[in-house]
Amino acid sequence: MSTTQASCTEPVTSVFTWQVRPGREADFEEWTRGVTACASRFPGNQGVSWLRPEHGHRFHAVLHFADPERLTAWLTSPERAEWHARIDGIATEVSSERQSTTGLEGWFRLPGTTVQAPPRWKMVLATFLGAYPLTFLIQWLVTPSTTSWPLPLRAAVFPCVLLPMLTYVIMPALSRVLRLWLYRPPDG
């Protein structure tokens, strides 16, 4: 398989930024529930997360799809176009801030910004803080009950539990909790 073919089968994460008109936040949040439910039924969808602003009126949608082709199918679908027509006058997408990634660097990117990724030592430490407790729990709770399994099957349990938990639960939450430390300027 060529490198091009392999990269097309990788999961993709895309971040969309929305500028909401002041006073229309409740309407927008209602819309997010509907468009999220629609997207969740779309083939290849692996989840949608919404990040609400602490200040201001920019909301961010983080979409996870099985591959770039299925993401493109959703983006060009009549269903999505219909949902976008409903948001007219409430919010507009800031298309210049749309970002996509197929790698784990998405754990450390701030949506809708051009902020550089944190220093690698901070990414390593944050990943360790997320992975160590889960690794400990897997070794303590799961590994003892799999000792009679063949080695390839036992070895598969660890990444099958660890990677989805890190990608969808632990690292998004941890990067939000640590964001001030991760993205602090060197002189700050």
Q: What is the pLDDT of residues 145-172, one digit of tens each?
A: 999 999 989 888 888 888 888 877 888 7
Q: Is the pLDDT of residue 94 over 90?
A: no
Under DSSP, the state recorded for 50 is E
Q: Is the pLDDT of residue 79 over 90?
A: yes
Residue-wise pLDDT for 32-67, tens only, equals: 999 999 999 999 898 888 887 767 788 888 888 888
Determine phi and psi for 123, rounding to 5 degrees.
-65, -40
pLDDT for position 95: 73
Q: Is the pLDDT of residue 105 over 70?
A: no
Ramachandran area for residue 135 (φ above 0: left; ψ -120 to 50: alpha; else beta): alpha
Are 85 and 139 in contact by the 8 Å Cβ rule? The answer is no
